[in-house]
Amino acid sequence: MASHAFEQHTGEVKVRLAAKNLGELFTEAARALSDLLGVGTEEPPSPWERITLTARDHEALLVGWLNELVARAEIDGRLVRDAMIHDLTSTRLDASIRGVPFRETRTAVKAATFHGLRITPDPHGVSATVILDV
């Protein structure tokens, strides 16, 4: 079962992510970001959109993934609640997302950062801690 929790950071927001595998970690990261950004309406979600990202490793892909969702939320005014990971290698992410308009906005997230970010295997799967600039 994937999970996320918000931890203390003096100036920003620290998110602790845990999941059975990398794909679930990425979908959980999307859920955590969504919880932080706001609340969606009950409207039917937008059609699925395909996203492909490339980066030099899993950590950079996770930062790129979150930043993709931050930018889309701001430009499209939609909160991404649903994400499907189709393929995830150490340098490439292929995913689909869909979202709903904001009913309520909460925290203005500027971007995800690399600071202290490491995706590590543990007995339950994988975990990571990401600091978001807010």
Residue 111's nearest CA partner among 75, 65, 61 is 65
Owner of token pair 């930062």: 63
- Select the residue interacting with other proteins from 5, 107, 121, 124 (CB under 8 A): 107
- Select the residue interacting with other proteins from 15, 19, 63, 97 (CB under 8 A): 63
Burial category of 117 from C-beta neighbours within 10 Å (exposed 0-12, middle 13-18, buried 19 and up): middle
Is 45 among the residues that bind other proteins (CB under 8 A)?
no
- Select the residue interacting with other proteins from 21, 48, 90, 116 (CB under 8 A): 116
- Select the residue interacting with other proteins from 20, 74, 89, 103 (CB under 8 A): 74
Residue 126's nearest CA partner among 56, 33, 24, 34 is 24
CA angle (96, 63, 124) in 5-degree steps: 80
Which residues of this protein are in contact with other proteins, per CB under 8 A?
6, 8-13, 37-38, 55-56, 59-60, 63-64, 67, 70-71, 73-75, 77, 102, 105-111, 113-117, 131, 133-134
